[in-house]
Amino acid sequence: MSAKNTSTAIKQVRKDCMKEWYTVDELLELRSAELPQERSGYSRRASKDNWKRRKRDTGKRGITYEYHISSLPKEVQRLLGCPESTIEALTQSESTGKGFLSANRNDSIDRIVAIVSSLKPNECEDLSMMLGRKGADFLTKLLDEDTVCLMQLTGEKKEAALLLTQLDLIRVREILSELRASRDMGRAASQQAVGDHKKDLV
């Protein structure tokens, strides 16, 4: 399957179906005869039928998986609200053993392909130009926790961060010094209040 066909298939699933990925709990709620009736049966069925799956972060210990709608039986796809035309396209794509539906492809690559496929043409062009100039090293810097935190800033916090980039280094150091002192005083006051409260309890 070509990259263009893969992109089209992904967009069709996103457009027509409620969503792409389903947890075991969501599938159990369907009570379909086409699916295992107990949680323990899903792992075996997924392995046996090469279901496309991805890990899901639940914040708890252990591994939880979500299963892609394309891997599920046709009847289940119908129950999930996927139109017949999309189900047929999924089946044809799956039978080729290629493209984003192939169960033995690397999940990371699948996610990257899906992300790039969902970009608007001008965004895709911008990404291509940026990678051409700065390379993959730039992308790995985006994975840094501090960078992610900065990218999530909004409103006045974002404005303050951008203003800091325009100041000279001496002024930035002065501001940081003031902020750190204020933070430390706040901690000290909080610890003092806790200490006073403990004394009152005794």
- Quick check: is 148 in a domain? no
Task: Tell me how far apart the alpha carbons of residues 13 and 81 are, in angstroms, rounded to a whole number.
Answer: 11
What's the full length of the chain, in residues?
202
Residues 11 and 90 in one domain: yes
Provide the token pair at 192: 């003092």
Residues 95-128 pLDDT 10s: 554 444 444 445 666 677 777 777 788 888 888 8
pLDDT of 129 higher than 70: yes
118: tokens are 């969902």
User: What CATH number should be reported for the domain holding residue 27?
Assistant: 1.10.10.10
The answer to whether position 119 is within a domain reads no
In a domain, 38, yes or no: yes
CA–CA gap between residue 96 and residue 46 (Å, rounded): 19
Global pTM reads 0.41
- Residue 150 in any domain: the answer is no
- Token pair for 10: 């992904």
Total domains in the fold of the chain = 2
pLDDT of residue 1: 45
* Domain enclosing residue 42, as ranges: 3-103
Mean pLDDT of the chain: 76
10 and 96 assigned to the same domain: yes
pLDDT 10s digits, 21-30: 888 888 998 8
For residue 141, tell me if it sits in a domain.
Answer: no
Distance, CA of 56 to CA of 43 (rounded, Å): 14
Would you say residue 182 lies in a domain? yes
Instruction: Clarify whether residues 22 and 94 are in a common domain.
Output: yes
Within this chain, do residues 8 and 90 fall inside the same structural domain, yes or no?
Answer: yes
